[in-house]
Structure formats: structure tokens, C-alpha cells
Amino acid sequence: MSKMPWFRYYSETSHDKKIDLISEESDLHFLIVHGVWSILLCLANDSPIRGSLYITKNKPFRDSFLAEDLHLSIEDTKKIIECFIEYDMLEIDENSAYKISNWDTRQFQSDNSNERVEKYRNKRKESGLSVAPSYDTKEVCNRYGNACVYCGSSINLVVDHAYPITLGGTDDPDNLVCACKGCNSGKSGRTPEQAGYKFINPIAEDNYKKYLSQNVTVTEAEEVTVTSVSASASLYDSAFVYNELSLKNKIEEFAKLPIPQSPLQANKHPLIALFMAGSDYMPPEKEYKNIIDTFSLIKGRYKDHNEIVDDIKKYSIAWTSRNNKNGEKYKISNLVWFYEWFLNDSIPNKKPYNRHSLDNMIIDNVEQP
């Protein structure tokens, strides 16, 4: 991949609550925290392994190098880096290099405008559509109140194919929505789910779902978006009920299955499905292995899989009903509640582990005889 001289910097950073919390915990002014985060993004963009902090392909940035670029002491650098890790803004890769969390999702590399237009026109031809659009932009925008269905803006409105032409979408009225140029450009040939967009217009959302159900052959990328987490109950149930092994042996066998590589695969993995049935939460891909490893630590604690589901539900509710020091509820996405439950059979009273220490905690326990 050629080096890119720019990256996407999202305006939400200016009011991200995590920045304020990191400022409090590190005792650094919030402007310094903003500045440090901006510099880390710049370094990650210029890195030979884009998204991670490397000086060369084989040499990660160390704290001493970062301290120089950030114009901070090593102590302050370590302190703020630990905070970024704790709040899931940074991760640590297999080479102990710092990596910007969700870089690939937030900093996707889209086609340039000429390539996108050419691909769009070719796909229309392949689909038997006329090169020139068959719809009236004013009519489509009027249908949705002349406001972007994704952000509500009423400036620079265009027609967006909710399911993109480049993926096989058509000019069906249910697939046409009103969007501002900013959202349309940011969506960049992806489905709303792939782009992380949410409809704020319920009519547009209903039309989109109707279009998908009637016109789109669901692929792996889209199947996850139409498969509810609750559907995993039937998946884990069939795996655990119609199996003659003891619960302990079932879990041992399921733990040997390949680690899922996508949300769709995760939804079909009995142990991930078991987790989702209790928590009603689809975990991120980086957690799949730890969740599976954690289940393998049960060692006969339960006789029935429904007891596991009930406990997962109980502990997830207990965790998310607690307040942190800022009065906010702990999020279910911070899976410390799940790991602490299995390892210590308790809900932690201390603040959440950072990503690095959590990974080591799971590894250490799995490797025990």
C-alpha cells in the first residue's frame, strides 16, 4: 500500500468523553491529551505498517521514542499511553507495538473519485441499468423531508443508493434515499452497516430493510446485520442439547474448533453463541479467542448449559448497573465482568483491566495445568 499523506480525523474527537476522562486520570490538560492523540494518529498514518506505531517494518516505537515526538517526559508518556489502552483507543499487537484501535474500520482506503465513478457506471451496465439515473433527485429528497437520512443535514443533498450499485443495488425506490454529500461520500460504495451508519429516518430504514429482504442475496458481510443476537440461542441450544457428551467434554470439544474470523462465523460457534445468548451482545473479533479460552476454564463448575447462560445474564446485568467514578454506567462491551466471573467467580470492584494485562491474565490461566 502506498503511503497516504492524509487520514480521516473525525469531528466527534472534539467532544469525546474518553479524552476528558484520560485528562483527569493522567493529570494532563485535555488540550495536551487531544494533541497527543492527534500526533499518534499522524505517526500511525506515516508508519510502514499503517495504523500501528512502527519506525521500520520490524522496529516498533518505544516509549522513549514517543516521548521525544510528543515532547513529554517518559513518565507522562507511559501514563497517557496506558490510559489510551485502558479506554480501548490503543491496542498492543503481537510485536508489542502500539496499534490504533479500529483503524481499518475508521481509516478504510476508498477508491478515488474517478475510479468510483467508472466502477459505478460499469456496474450499472452489468446490471442492465441505464448509465444515466432513472430517478428524480428532487422527488427522492422530498420523500424524506429534504434531509439526510443518516445525519439530518439539509445542505448539499443528493440521492444515495442505500445498498450500493457497486454491490449489485438497483434504482428501486426503496433503495433510494436522501443523503448529504458528506454522508454519501463517507459511505463510499458500502452498505450503511459496513460504513457504520445508522438511519435517523425510520421510513428510510424500513424501506431499506424491505429492499434487502426482497432483492438482495445475503452474503456473509450482510448476513450479520440481519441476524439478531437472540437467534444465537437456537444455535447454542442445538449444539449443547443434541450432543451426548458431558457439559465439560462438550466445552472441551467446542474449544478445539477454529477461532472465528468474522461475526458470521462467531454467531455459528457454540461457545460464542453461548456467550451471546446470555449477554445479548455480539463481541468484537479481538475478543473471540479470549472468550473461548475463558469457557475452557470452567472445568466442571456447571452441569447444564442453561445455568451458564443464567449466570452470564446475572453478571452482565450486575456489571452494567454499576457506576464508575464519573457516575456513568459500565458498558457491557468492557468484558472484564465476563473474564473476572470465570476466573474468580466475582464482579470486580477495581477499575477495568487494560487490554494488555487482560490478554496476559487469560493466557496465564489457560496455560496452567
Average pLDDT, integer, range 156-178: 89
pLDDT of 230-241, one tens digit each?
A: 445 555 666 776
Q: Which residue has the higher pLDDT, 115 or 204?
A: 204
Q: Which residue has the higher pLDDT, 363 or 146?
A: 146
Query: What is the pLDDT at residue 127?
Result: 67
Query: What is the pLDDT at residue 368?
Result: 43
**Of the segments 81-90, 266-275, 334-343, which one has the largest average pLDDT value?**
81-90
Mean pLDDT of the chain: 79
Does 143 have pLDDT greater than 90?
A: yes
Confidence of residue 246 (pLDDT cuts 50, 70, 90): confident
pLDDT above 70 covers what percent of the chain?
Answer: 77
Does 221 have pLDDT greater than 50?
A: no
Grid coordinates given for 351: 477499575
Q: What is the pTM of this model?
A: 0.40
Grid coordinates given for 153: 443535514
Average pLDDT, integer, range 37-46: 93
Does 268 have pLDDT greater than 50?
A: yes
Query: What is the pLDDT at residue 353?
Result: 45
Q: How far is CA 189 from CA 117, 184, 185, 217, 310, in A?
A: 10, 9, 8, 17, 42
Query: What is the pLDDT at residue 278?
Result: 83
Does 357 have pLDDT greater than 80?
A: no
Average pLDDT, integer, range 101-123: 68
State how far the Cα of 172 lies from the Cα of 143, in Å rounded to an integer.
14
Q: Which residue has the higher pLDDT, 68 or 325?
A: 68
Q: Report which residue type is found at 143.
A: R
Does 75 have pLDDT greater than 50?
A: yes
The CATH number fitting domain 11-106, selected from 3.40.50.300, 1.10.10.10, 3.30.1370.60, 3.40.190.10: 1.10.10.10
Per-domain boundaries in the chain: 11-106, 113-226, 229-366
Print the SS3 string covering the chain.
CCCCCCCCCCHHHHHCHHHHHHHHHHCCCHHHHHHHHHHHHHHHHHCCCCCECEEECCEECCHHHHHHHHCCCHHHHHHHHHHHHHCCCEEECCCCCEEECCHHHHCCCCCCHHHHHHHHHHHHHHCCCCCCCCCCHHHHHHHCCCCCCCCCCCCCEEEEECCCHHHCCCCCHHHEEEEEHHHHHHHCCCCHHHHCCCCCCHHHHHHHHHHHHHHCCCCHHHHHHHCCHHHHHHHHHHHHHCCCCCHHHHHHHHHCCCCCCCHHHHHHCHHHHHHHHHHCCCCCHHHHHHHHHHHCCCCCCCCCHHHHHHHHHHHHHHHHCCECCCCCECCCCCCHHHHHHHHHCCCCCCCCCCHHHHHHHHHHHHCCC
State how far the Cα of 14 lies from the Cα of 9, in Å rounded to an integer.
10
Does 289 have pLDDT greater than 90?
A: no
Query: What is the pLDDT at residue 35?
Result: 93
Average pLDDT, integer, range 10-21: 84
Q: What angle do CA 246, 252, 257 make, to 5 degrees?
A: 125
- The region of weakest confidence among 153-157, 190-194, 286-290 is 190-194
Does 264 have pLDDT greater than 90?
A: no
> What's phi and psi for 134, nearest 5 deg?
-100, 5
